[in-house]
Amino acid sequence: MKAYALFTVLAAAIAIPATAQTPLGEIDSHIAAAKTAAGLDYRATFVNLCFPTPLPGGPRGGAALLIPRPAPDRGIWYASPYQVFDNLYWLGTRQHSSWALKTSAGLIIIDTNFAWATQPEILDGLTKLHLSPRDIKYVILSHAHGDHDQGVATLQSKFGAKVVMGGPDWDATLKRAPDVAGGVPVRGPGDIAVGPEGTKVTLGDTAVDIVFTPGHTPGTLSYIFPVKDKGKTVMVAYSGGTLTGAFGSDAKRWDEYIDSQKRLAQAAAAAGASVILSNHSEYDNAYTKARLVGVKREVGEDNPFIAGSQSVQNYFTVMQECATASKLRNMAK
């Protein structure tokens, strides 16, 4: 380091009042807490959240994801559909997940992936699993980013599915140009714009508790819902938005995200959730676990998706601790 540069650094350090500095040790202690909570189960969540990189072209779901594109080479994304619980079906690609929750009165689709995945993964997937796309009654979207919502307009126009989205994300979606990838859903009677108070979507014998968890987007939704594992009820916590790479020094956004994770963790604990799901396989290992479901279980062995309630809490600890570390790091810049 040249002498003048060293002087500049020293002068800057002296000029900052002690109270405005974030001791490196504090950031490190949050990262250490996240790493411990992540263990081997949530390593990808840990590295992506604790060491976020600004995404090229701005936040995900920005203009780049709205441009219609042909499907990438099928060999890099296609995955077979799998039944993972008695009434829950995985319809994802190897990277992104869509889910079908079967109720006594039809299907609820959770997240819809890219437009090019609608036919091969969601529609053909349902058919392969002996379910009918005509039974889709609701589509619940975790947030309005193209990797999770491009299929929704098709499911709405073809099958009359009602669309559930966070209010701010609905508003943003309706402002899209009509020629965006996958098209734009319409908001009509029966479609639901969820506000900060959250809501419950009930179809037949199944209710999805919707928790408003802004942060990743202004209207991100997360869920708590029951599934059955060989007849036994198991509670699922579904984390609707993960990355924080676009937050920069916006303290309010960091705080909103951290608060959302706390509230969702509390809701998961109150419900006794022992399964954590996400819309990216990277974070919940859905693709791996979906294939494991088909492997014969030993006596007493749980469904591979059942992580236990402590593990579910650990997931949210990773999110909170990494977000806190990243916030401190960004504020200190």
Instruction: List binders of Zn ion among 49-68 (CB under 5 A).
Output: 60
Binding mask 150-179 for Zn ion (x = CB under 5 A): ------------------------------
Between residues 60 and 137, which has the closer beta carbon with respect to Zn ion? 60
Per CB under 5 A, does 30 bind Zn ion?
Answer: no
- Smallest distance from the beta carbon of 241 to Zn ion, in angstroms? 6
Closest separation in Å from C-beta 323 to Zn ion: 15
Separation of first and last alpha carbons in the chain: 20
91 Cβ partners below 8 Å, 6+ apart? 81, 97, 98, 99, 100, 109, 121, 122, 125, 126
Spatial strand order of the sheet with 275-277 comes to 199-203, 206-212, 221-229, 232-238, 275-277
Residue 145 or 327 having the CB closest to Zn ion? 145
Interaction of residue 137 with Zn ion, rule CB under 5 A: no
Give min distance, CB of 240 to Zn ion, in A. Answer: 9
Q: Please report, for residues 176, 230, 305, the alpha-carbon distance to residue 299 in angstroms, rounded to integers and kept in the order given.
A: 52, 13, 16
- The residue among 60 and 253 lying less far from Zn ion, judged by its C-beta, is 60
* Span interacting with Zn ion, options 76-84, 137-145, 264-272, 282-290, rule CB under 5 A: 137-145
Cross-strand pairs, 232: 229
Closest separation in Å from C-beta 166 to Zn ion: 12
Q: Which stretch, 22-30, 77-85, 141-149, 259-267, contacts Zn ion (CB under 5 A)?
A: 141-149
> For strand 162-166 and strand 136-140, is the pairing parallel, antiparallel, or unpaired?
parallel
CA distance readout (Å), 174 to 139, 184, 188, 309: 16, 7, 12, 38
**Least distance from Zn ion to the Cβ atom of residue 143, Å:** 5
Is 253 a binding residue for Zn ion by CB under 5 A? The answer is no
Does 145 bind Zn ion (CB under 5 A)? Our answer is: yes
Residues that bind Zn ion (CB under 5 A): 60, 145
